Amino acid sequence: MDNISIKPVLTRSDMREFLLLPRSIYKNDPNWVPPLLHELKKKLDPRFNSLLSRGPYRLFLSRDSVGRPLSRLLVGVDELLNQAKGRNEGYIALFEAGNEKAGVLLLNHACEWLLSLNKGINQIKGPISPTKGDDLRGLLIWGFNSPPVMMNSYNPPEYATYFEKAGFIKDLDL
């Protein structure tokens, strides 16, 4: 567990692990509703998701010392929105983590990746919807005892702590 590596998703096998990771995280959670994989896969294809064609982005997976996926996320910059709004923001989406160490390390890695772009990023929003829509955005901070409301996020209670430990602060309540 001590040796956690973080790599971009580059192969079909990586993408499959990225898509399926939540199944291992939520396997004992009776309230989790798995996404339709073909729909999620489409959201990660720039041909069908304009957000991914509006600036640099990466999908990252962290793995343990034997190669098992531990956490994932999508990180990027919406250059068109930044230009239109006069901002220098990056974004994070589709965050999932099997434990705190992997989650915080991956969030920190995403922040470092954004800074490495040398685009003057001074704020990082997330989790946002991977399509800039109303789905899969934000973190659930209460209401873990029932199935999620349609189009809302669902996550383990500890995710808010992971984001706080990585230096994020709450921006708004949905």
In tens digits, what is the pLDDT along the chain, a chain of 174 residues? Answer: 479 999 999 999 999 999 999 999 999 999 999 989 999 999 999 999 999 999 999 999 999 999 999 999 999 999 999 999 999 999 999 999 999 999 999 999 999 999 999 889 999 999 998 887 777 788 988 888 888 887 788 899 999 999 999 999 988 776
15 inside domain: yes
71 inside domain: yes
122 inside domain: yes
Q: Which domain holds residue 47?
A: 5-165
pLDDT of the residue at 170: 86
12 inside domain: yes
- 149: domain CATH number is 3.40.630.30
Count how many Cα atoms sit within 13 Å of the Cα of residue 86 in the half-sphere of its side chain.
0
What is the H or E stretch that residue 113 is in? Answer: helix 100-116
Closest CA to 106 of 123, 89, 94: 94
Domains in the chain, number: 1
55 inside domain: yes
pLDDT of the residue at 135: 77
pLDDT of the residue at 43: 92
Contact (CB, 8 A) for 121 and 102: no
pLDDT of the residue at 174: 65
pLDDT of the residue at 128: 92
Residues 167, 169: Cα–Cα separation, whole Å: 7
pLDDT of the residue at 152: 80
174 inside domain: no
116 inside domain: yes
170 inside domain: no
Q: Would you state the structure tokens that stand for residue 137, as one six-digit string?
A: 């955005």
Tens-place pLDDT, residues 31-72: 999 989 999 999 999 999 999 999 999 999 999 999 999 999
Q: Which residues contact 28 (CB under 8 A, 6 or more apart)?
A: none
